[in-house]
Amino acid sequence: MRWLIVEDALRDRKGHWLEYISTFARELRALGDDVTILADRSAEPFLIKQLQVQPVLPASIWHRMGDGAGAMRRYLRVPVHAWETYCTIKKYLQRAGEFDITFVPTVLVHHLLGWTWLIKRALRKKTGRVVLFFPNTPVQLDLNRNEFSWQPAPTAKLFCWLIRSLQYEVKQGRVILGAETQQMRAALTRLTGVTFTYFPHPVAPLHEAPSTLNLESSTKITMASYGSARHEKGSDLLVAAVDEHCRRHPDSHVHFVLQSVDGDARLWEKLRANPKVQLIPNYFADGEYAGRLRATGVMLLPYRRSSYGLRVSRVVIEAMVQGICVVTTRGTTLEDQAKQFGAAIFCEDGSVESLVQVIHETEQNFANLTQMAKLRKVMAQNHFSVCNFRKILLNHSIKQESCCI
């Protein structure tokens, strides 16, 4: 198959886009597919060389979020980015020809408006399929009633209207709307009345070196949390729980490794002098994250349910495909996936006390949990793979063609 992957957030080495897109490119090419990647027009030379990307897309919307722009400016970005996307892709396809699959991995309303124009105009007579993927949507979770609804923003109404306008193309099979969790798929299908399809978030396992963990001894257990320190990830809960665990259990064999970038520096003060805690104040260098994963026994992911009742967490998938056990929050997508494909113990949403207890329980049951995680990692690797993503896509296409006969 001939793939066109369109990702304007692919600009530099920050975020998950580099690893995500490179996983697709590497695995699809290994399966014999032809892959073309379009990226932000200011993409680093490293990406152009490493991934063979073509830097032609409008400037990334993702990298402009949180820049302090006023409401009017933010809303104007929607039609402006949509028009730039429409013109760029239309012009590119005129000289590049047809693709079997056009894959847009991270779609916001800015992209959706442009791609709706493309699908209904420039791509109307094309035979290839367009896969629009939605890792972030304007859907909110009411924690008290456990119900999903649209956010009260004008862009949410536009998002819903655009999805509904694509209903005919979705029924035809020309357009496939994808979601990375079953919860997101169900919520979007119900709220829009248009069918969304679940696709796994592909993560490639590491094969370069064996694990350094010694499950037979009582030596230290590394419990870690990597990535940006944000409220939605429960970083404040984690700091308080680690501090309390060390106070209650001075003889614990747990060694904590916590990455503290992008957060309030004051949050980490109480842990700086703790000999059982290593704080990482910077982003990882090339290859460093893989080494950290190999040395990690437990991933600490007390993500808040308000943010992760629908969204996927790449980190929990990385843990499962590596055979690392997980501590995470009950009622999140992380719990749902860890129950199916990993080994985990669950804490209550927003509770420091629950997290302290779960950390201690995990230490006591570390050997059994890790053995279970190792046994289930092959299942995780098979499910969260590009090969499985591609298989689901092909099966979907076959079903749609059968329905149209």
Q: Quick check: is 332 in a domain? A: yes
248 shares a domain with 145: no
163 shares a domain with 26: yes
CATH number for the domain spanning 358: value is: 3.40.50.2000
Q: Which domain holds residue 15?
A: 2-202+385-404
180 shares a domain with 84: yes
pLDDT tens digit sequence for 116-167: 999 999 999 888 999 999 998 999 988 888 889 999 999 999 999 999 999 9
Mapping DSSP onto H, E and C, the string for 330-385 reads: CCCHHHHHHHHHCCEEEECCCCHHHHHHHHHHHHHCHHHHHHHHHHHHHHHHHHCC
Check: CB of residue 128 under 8 Å from CB of residue 120: no
Q: What is the mean pLDDT of residues 162-187?
A: 96
373 shares a domain with 400: no
Residue with tokens 């499910």: 383
Q: Quick check: is 156 in a domain? A: yes
What does the mean pLDDT of the chain come to?
91
Band (pLDDT 50/70/90 cuts) for residue 405 is: very low
Whole-prediction pTM = 0.89
178 shares a domain with 325: no
Which residue did the predictor score with more confidence, 75 or 206? Answer: 75
**Token representation of residue 391:** 């298989």
Other beta carbons within 10 angstroms of residue 219's beta carbon come to: 10
Other beta carbons within 10 angstroms of residue 116's beta carbon come to: 20
> What pLDDT, on a 0 to 100 scale, did the predictor assign at position 318?
94
Those residues whose C-beta lies under 8 Å from the C-beta of residue 228, and which sit 6 or more positions away, are: 259, 261, 262, 263
Q: Quick check: is 209 in a domain? A: no
Q: How far apart, in Å, are the Cα atoms of 128 and each of 28, 123, 175, 355?
A: 17, 9, 9, 48
The single-letter DSSP state of residue 180 is S
Band (pLDDT 50/70/90 cuts) for residue 398 is: low
- The conformational region for residue 228 under phi > 0 = left, psi -120 to 50 = alpha, else beta, is beta
Q: How far apart are CA 318 and CA 377, in angstroms?
A: 10
pLDDT tens digit sequence for 262-287: 767 788 898 999 999 999 988 888 77
363 shares a domain with 269: yes
> What pLDDT, on a 0 to 100 scale, did the predictor assign at position 207?
63
111 shares a domain with 43: yes
Above 90 in pLDDT, residue 235? yes
Q: How far apart are CA 295 and CA 284, in angstroms?
A: 15
**Token representation of residue 280:** 């990482």
Q: Quick check: is 207 in a domain? A: no
Q: Look at the chain and report how many structural domains it folds into.
A: 2
115 shares a domain with 134: yes
Look at 14-28, 94-108, 336-350 and tell me which has the smallest mean pLDDT. Answer: 14-28
Above 80 in pLDDT, residue 66? no
Band (pLDDT 50/70/90 cuts) for residue 64 is: confident
Q: Which residues pair with 104 in a beta bridge?
A: 132
Q: How far apart are CA 362 and CA 190, in angstroms?
A: 37
Q: What is the mean pLDDT of residues 86-105?
A: 96
pLDDT tens digit sequence for 351-397: 999 999 999 999 999 999 999 999 999 999 999 999 999 999 999 86
Terminal Cα distance for the chain, rounded: 23
Q: Quick check: is 212 in a domain? A: no
390 shares a domain with 320: no
Q: Which residues pair with 35 in a beta bridge?
A: 3
Q: Quick check: is 17 in a domain? A: yes
**Token representation of residue 157:** 């109404």
The single-letter DSSP state of residue 136 is S
Distance of CA 115 to the CA centre of its chain: 21
> What pLDDT, on a 0 to 100 scale, did the predictor assign at position 278?
94
Above 90 in pLDDT, residue 12? no
Q: 265: helix, coil or strand?
A: helix
Those residues whose C-beta lies under 8 Å from the C-beta of residue 31, and which sit 6 or more positions away, are: 386, 387, 390
> What pLDDT, on a 0 to 100 scale, did the predictor assign at position 386?
97
Q: What is the mean pLDDT of residues 282-303?
A: 90
Q: Quick check: is 208 in a domain? A: no
Check: CB of residue 13 under 8 Å from CB of residue 287: no
Band (pLDDT 50/70/90 cuts) for residue 214 is: very low
Above 60 in pLDDT, residue 403? no
176 shares a domain with 42: yes
352 shares a domain with 397: no
198 shares a domain with 74: yes
Q: Quick check: is 216 in a domain? A: no
> What pLDDT, on a 0 to 100 scale, did the predictor assign at position 209?
44
